[in-house]
Structure 1
Amino acid sequence: MENIIKKFQITDHKKISLKDYDTADTAGYDKDDADELLADMIKQTSDLQNELYADNKHGLLIIFQAMDAAGKDSAIKHTMSGLNPQGCQVFSFKQPTSEDYDHDFLWRHYKALPERGRIGIHNRSHYENVLVTKVHPAYVMKENLPGINDVKDLDKKFWEHRYDSIRDFEKHLTRNGTAIIKFFLHVSKDEQKERFLKRIDEADKNWKFSSADIEERSHWADYQEAYEDAINATSTPNAPWYVIPADKKWFTRIAISTIMLETLKKLKLEYPVLPAIEKEKLEQAKQSLESE
């Protein structure tokens, strides 16, 4: 487990290039052991979720970012399969609405944060505001920001300010009890191609494909650069990024589950201890029930 965390965790002390990360890496794990290992970690995570809810001091925010077809949906489906739905919230962020554009770029994401005791999963997140908007800067013009009258105004300082806002936002959250895990599912361009072709060839997967996916694929290099910039600028000890190899879905799920489990363990969760007077009431209630 420590090997996965050490190998794929990015902190503020380490600047990365995505080219240095093997999208098919399995960190020495064997596919034949994957199902049993994943089932065990899901069970442990489920037990810790109960403690998270009872302890009611922390929330857990899990962010998934990736290129199209990297497997975000399936990763969420499999790694979260053992969680109690009552204590878990999943938000998939699409294009901002007119109401969203009338607020700052963090507004709609702040509204979707998990309460204490709950796990929140963001399928795409506030990072879209330094990813897709950086590749397609015309989107920023919809925000009607003061001093921004043309895409030419979106200089290096503008993006640095956005990174500042994100770091401050996440620092505030962690200071107030929300643990944050940020996953970038790192898929290769060749693997994306194969998954796109499968979506086209298999009728039951046609709905997953859009012609817009091909347009976005043409910006592959720009997106890789945007992800590198965002990861390098916003990886902190309290809100680290994890660059997870995504060509082998079975390993992607093991890596995600491992990091989730270890993050929950580090919170040192505890079931509340009842005061003496409440324990006495429990004993009285027990005696009353047994005497019926």
Structure 2
Amino acid sequence: MEPGQLEALVATYGPDTWRIYDHLDVSLDPTGPDELFDIAADLIRPGDVVLDAGCRDASHLIELCRRHEINGIGVDPAPAHVEGATVAVTAAGLTSRVTLHQAMLEEAPVASGSVDLVWCRDVLEQVADLPSVLRGAARVLRPGGAMVVFTVVDNGLTDADRELLTHHRGVVTANLDPARLMAAYAAAGLLLEETIEIGTRWREYAEERTRPVSRKLLQLARLRRQRAQLTTTYGADALAHVEANLHWELWQFLGLTLPVVHVLWRERYPD
């Protein structure tokens, strides 16, 4: 046995090691995604107009209307999303307060300077033309209006990770570049006031309740064991997308990508 190896083995299986594991079994009571509503609350006043960019099923916009005396605008380019949002808004009894548009944000029929807050969650990492979307957000905001963005940025992905991510059909890899994102904000006339690092909090919150990442790790293991069969059945492109997607939350847990909230203000119209 090499010198020091016995001491290392004793330490490895000693009581301090197991105390650390016991310590790590205790929840840190992480906040969940509703934290974003709390962040936005400080920026909303009664009577404001809030635009949800990429509103999907309008669940966030409906919740904002329930929490605040506001009027809402939902914008989403996907017909299925707008159809679902229409049903949800009607069911919530909010048709008099919420307007929905099937459009890209930069093309939406919303008057310039008519919006007090733009809510933008899980969108910027998915848009093909990041500068245009941010210019669209800046256009509809009144001077002094705010924008709340939740997105994910690259925090140490390897070249192999980035190559895998290029196969994710819902993510534009370049938009995870923090420098590119900051430059696009500035070019649109949006001033960054605050960056709130969410880190692993929301993922811990979900994992402690329903264990979605544990399930995805199992799915990833099964995918790798059946790669040839699945490729034959579904095609290489579809399988590569699923493999990349199964890494999405895992990378966040490992700190290789970083979920963040950006609070921005609209000061001027772009030249």
**RCO higher in structure (CA 8 A, sep ≥6):** 1
The TM-score by the shorter chain falls in which range?
0.3 to 0.5
Structure with greater strand percent: 2
**Alignment TM-score, normalising by the size of structure 1:** 0.31
Structure with greater helix percent: 1
